[in-house]
Chain A
Amino acid sequence: MTALLRYQTALLLRSQRWVPPLVVYAAALAVGVQGGQPVLDSLGWAAAVLLPVAAWLVRICVTGEPPAARACVSAAGGPARAHLASVLVGLGAATALGGAATVVVTLISDPVSSGHGTRVPSLQAGGSGLLAVLVCALLGTAVGALTSWPVLRSPGRAVPALLLAALLALVATGSPAHAAVTALVTGSRSGTVPLPLLPLAAAVLVTAAVTAVTCALTARRSA
């Protein structure tokens, strides 16, 4: 499995297909986050925009390999494990991106509540932001895995489905990502740092289930 993860990581990094999502994420942060804004609000934004970016990264990882090359790797390592490796590398890339963003946002934001009335401890705020980022990276991974090969094979349907699913995952009540982001925003109003552990647990479960299904599907559907 380690060899597969390394192979997929190298494939992603060397292909440079990670650049567009990175640029889009950086642009979204530049639009929504400015120095001196309340920290929890900014962290909420950083987490929320990470979700579609994570889905995009997973899509890049899952579809990045030419089918014949994937066949060689599948024969050697097993098709399900080969697919799992590509999904995990996408998740890892999204988490790294979100983690870095959280650190930057925490450093440049004001450690205060929305009304600038209450002080919000930076370290706790950063930890809470990391949890929210993780929730959004996981859910974005689920969205990305569910809207690419082997579930949806034609890009014409997969890309709109990805965008729609990412939007739904952010705004639908009951979605762990919605819960985690909302907790940050309402926490910013009241000046309390939320601990989105329940959304995190839910996101882990959802993403694990979706990933397991897509891995099981890889060998059943042909490229």
Chain B
Amino acid sequence: MQRELRLDNVGRRHSLRGPWVLRGVDLAVAPGTLVRVEGANGTGKSTLLRLIAGIDAPTEGRVTGRPRTAYVPERFPSALPFTALAYLIRLGTVHGLSRRQAAGAAGQWLERLGAAGYARTPMARLSKGSSQKVAVAQALLGEPELLVLDEAWTGLDAGARAELERAVAERTAAGGAVVFVDHDPGRLAGAPDATYTVRDGTLHRRERPATAPAGPRVTVRVQGPPGGRLPADAHRIAALAEETAPGTHLLTVPASHSDVLLRTLLTARPPWHVVSVATEEPHGPEDRR
């Protein structure tokens, strides 16, 4: 994503004389950021996400800087006359991939989400959860610059939920922006760069609240080359970084981001040495599943 997506004083109503669903929304989504949108049911979260994804145009105001975008709806219909793989290949080409690239990426994402066995199943015969996996795969296979997730975790099994969190971490680490809505307050806890609340028909930026659940974290102890400085990307991914001894750093990341952090450290030039990896259970009130 070259530049940030900007919404300037954006408003939307669904029909000419209908009520305003949203008004006066200002939002900038910079490359590489993770944005969480919250709000009660029926406040216009989905409308906002559709505006961000470019599916709907604003009734007033402007949206500029549209990057390559992908969208995952909350419920994905399976009433499509394709097999899962055939649908993904077609959507991959719409996302700008060649047929071969699309076929490769589709197979890979179905496997990562635990749906490889359904590749040749007609969409009409997929369960709700499996067709939601197809919707997620559809959005991820094009490596979009902007990923918009409207309660995309709904209906996924535990494995696929965790995989989608890791995929989000990968997208942001690769410089893509991700905007998401989810009812689980522990979803990607500690990871969002910004949290917004939709209330009273407009968007409010929320300062990082002290009461937010921390979520499961991973601590990584790493050793760099003598006198080496922590790679900038690793610094960005880590929630906490402290130098415990000369050359030795203790990094804390949300569990969803541990793979991305390790990959960054191990592929740095020169590579860093991973001394230990440990999970850290969250303290305080929690509602993790």
Contact = CB atoms under 8 A, between A and B. Distances in A.
A68 B82 contact: no
B236 interface: no
A79 B69 CA distance: 12
Contacts of B69: 75-76
Contacts of B77: 66-69
A115 B229 CA distance: 96
Given A11-B81, A76-B95, A3 B90 contact: yes
Contact of A72 (B71, B79, B93): B71
Interface string A22-36: 000000000000000
Contacts of A11: 80-81
A68 B73 contact: yes
Interface in A70-86: 71-79
Interface of B: 14-15, 47, 50, 53-57, 59, 68-73, 75-77, 79-82, 86, 90-91, 93-96, 135, 138-139, 142, 144, 148
A153 to B, nearest CB: 10
Given A66-B77, A71-B50, A7 B93 contact: yes
B90 A75 contact: no
Contacts of A219: 54-57
Interface string A209-223: 000000000011110
Contacts of B96: 3
Contacts of A208: none
B21 to A, nearest CB: 9
Contacts of B73: 68, 71-72
A4 interface: yes
A213 B68 CA distance: 24
A interface majority secondary structure: helix
Given A79-B55, A220-B59, A222-B14, A73 B81 contact: no
Given A69-B76, A69-B77, A69-B80, 18 more contacts: A3-B90, A4-B94, A7-B90, A15-B81, A67-B77, A68-B135, A71-B55, A72-B72, A72-B73, A72-B91, A73-B94, A74-B54, A75-B69, A76-B91, A77-B94, A79-B54, A79-B57, A219-B57
Contacts of A77: 94
24 contacts: A3-B96, A7-B90, A10-B86, A15-B81, A65-B80, A66-B79, A66-B80, A68-B77, A68-B135, A69-B77, A69-B80, A71-B53, A72-B71, A72-B73, A72-B91, A72-B139, A73-B91, A74-B71, A75-B69, A75-B148, A79-B55, A79-B56, A219-B54, A219-B55
B288 to A, nearest CB: 28
Contacts, number: 88
Q: How large is the interface on A (under 10, 10 to 19, 20 to 34, 35 or more residues)?
A: 20 to 34
Contact of B57 (A6, A66, A72, A220): A220
A4 B90 CA distance: 8
A91 B135 CA distance: 29
B81 A75 contact: no
Contacts of A72: 70-73, 76, 91, 135, 138-139
A76 B75 contact: no
A221 B15 contact: yes
A144 B56 CA distance: 22
B70 A75 contact: yes
A17 to B, nearest CB: 9
Contact of B82 (A14, A76, A78, A79): A14
B129 to A, nearest CB: 15
Contact of B81 (A6, A14, A68, A79): A14
Nearest to B76: A68
Given A4-B94, A6-B90, A221-B14, A75 B79 contact: no
A74 B71 CA distance: 9
Closest 4 CB pairs of A and B: A75-B71, A66-B77, A219-B57, A14-B81
Given A14-B82, A69-B77, A76 B94 contact: yes
A74 B72 CA distance: 11
